[in-house]
Amino acid sequence: MRTHIRAAAPDELSALQDIERAAGALFRALGMPEIADDEPPALSALDHYRRAGHCWVAADERDRPAGYLIAEPVDDALHVEQVSVHPRAARRGVGRSLIAHAAGRARAQGLTSVTLTTFTDVPWNAPYYARLGFRPLAEAALTPGLRQIRAEESEHGLDRWPRVCMSRTTSDKWS
């Protein structure tokens, strides 16, 4: 599957929700039904990221979204809030392309790194990001913004499963 990365269009936001639901369903097999059943970001939230220029899609040959990434600047980093790839497009470099695109945008904005929070024991989460060059951040290394994100995740119940903050500098070579 060949994809290209571009900004999300306003009329695609519900398709991004569908991608999120399909990708999230995979968590059910890992004994994480709460994650599988969690609703995707609201259309208004997705539109907020889109209007801010921080919502990108990986579009397929017919220019339909196969995956998406939303992010926001947090402290001196671009924080990946969500990256989801439809299972039909999985294992084809779609997520990697989205993350590399976001890193390029972060670098162009003068941000020093890309950060994310993720589950440590989910194969397509922390182990995947480690293969992409992300490194875990120690608790003492968390910025105020990342501490706030972690607190919100904890309030949402995500700490039921082990989680980690990860980072990669924008000066690294991204492919």
pLDDT in tens, 106-152: 999 999 999 999 999 998 899 999 999 999 999 999 999 999 999 99
Q: What is the mean pLDDT of the chain?
A: 92
Domain ranges of the chain: 4-169
pLDDT of residue 171: 80
What's the CATH architecture for 4-169? 3-Layer(aba) Sandwich (3.40)
Which residue, 39, 46, 49, 36, is CA-closest to 16?
Answer: 46
- What pTM, to 2 d.p., does this model score? 0.93
Question: 135 CB contacts (<8 Å, ≥6 apart)?
Answer: 166, 167, 168
Classify 2 in phi/psi space as left (phi over 0), alpha (psi -120 to 50) or beta.
beta
Of the ranges 6-10, 41-45, 93-97, 141-145, which one carries the lowest mean pLDDT score? 93-97
C-beta of residue 15 within 8 angstroms of C-beta of residue 65: yes
Spatial distance between the Cα atoms of 84 and 58, rounded to a whole number of angstroms: 10
Measured CA distances, 109 to 22, 26, 76, 105, 170 (Å): 32, 34, 10, 6, 10
Spatial distance between the Cα atoms of 114 and 107, rounded to a whole number of angstroms: 9
C-beta of residue 24 within 8 angstroms of C-beta of residue 40: yes
Over range 25-45, report the average pLDDT.
Answer: 92
Spatial distance between the Cα atoms of 60 and 67, rounded to a whole number of angstroms: 9
